[in-house]
């Protein structure tokens, strides 16, 4: 099996997940930042990693996802400041899935990712802070070893 791993990472959180996938995935594999990602043609499975911005995949990842289609088999992975399993995260994953033009979603993994303190401070100053701001303190230190172990388990079960 030949796999492609594509990721966008603002603060290295999503890159940490991408590197974990690369290290634990068997078979032929390639890894690229989203800016340098090739076409998915010729790949059996594509892993797409993103961080959340305003409750959606970051703009570069969103653009990449719109180039995919029914012939693509995807595994989505994301980092976020929101609480794991929150509606905020579920809605973001649903939005990402909708951008793919009907790609087959083989799996999804999300976990909290520590928010850059400068970004956090800026976001806290907004008149209406985002819904995830109350969860950001719990994101400190993530993705952690437990998150990476959970991701490894999903990858080996694929």
The domain tally of the chain equals 1
Range of the domain at 11: 2-157
Q: Indicate the pairing of strand 45-53 with strand 28-33.
A: unpaired
The whole-number pLDDT of residue 126 equals: 86
pLDDT tens digit string along 16-71?
A: 999 999 999 999 999 999 999 999 999 999 999 999 998 999 999 999 999 999 99
Instruction: Answer whether residue 124 shows pLDDT above 90.
Output: no
Angle between helices 87-99 and 59-66 (to 10 degrees): 40
Q: CA 18, 68, 84: angle at the middle one, nearest 5?
A: 45
Contact between residue 50 and residue 8 where contact means Cβ atoms under 8 Å apart = yes
pTM value is: 0.94
Q: How many CB atoms lie within 10 A of CB 80?
A: 28
Sign of the Cα torsion 74, 34, 151, 23 reads: positive
Identify the CATH number of the domain in which residue 6 sits: 3.40.50.360
The whole-number pLDDT of residue 2 equals: 98
Average pLDDT, integer, range 77-99: 96
């Amino acid at each position: 099996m030949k796999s492609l791993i594509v990721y966008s990472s603002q603060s290295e959180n999503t890159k940490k997940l991408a590197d974990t996938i690369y290290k634990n995935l068997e078979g032929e594999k390639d890894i690229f930042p989203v800016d340098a990602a090739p076409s998915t043609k010729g790949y059996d499975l594509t892993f797409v990693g993103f961080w959340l911005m305003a409750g959606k995949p970051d703009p570069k990842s969103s653009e990449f996802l719109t180039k995919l289609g029914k012939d693509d088999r995807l595994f989505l992975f994301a980092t976020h400041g929101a609480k794991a399993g929150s509606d905020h995260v579920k809605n973001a994953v649903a939005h990402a899935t909708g951008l793919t033009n009907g790609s087959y979603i083989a799996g999804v993994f999300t976990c909290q990712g520590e928010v850059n303190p400068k970004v956090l401070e800026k976001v806290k100053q907004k008149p209406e802070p985002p819904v995830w701001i109350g969860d950001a303190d719990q994101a400190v230190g993530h993705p952690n070893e437990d998150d990476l172990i959970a991701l490894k388990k999903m990858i080996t079960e694929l």
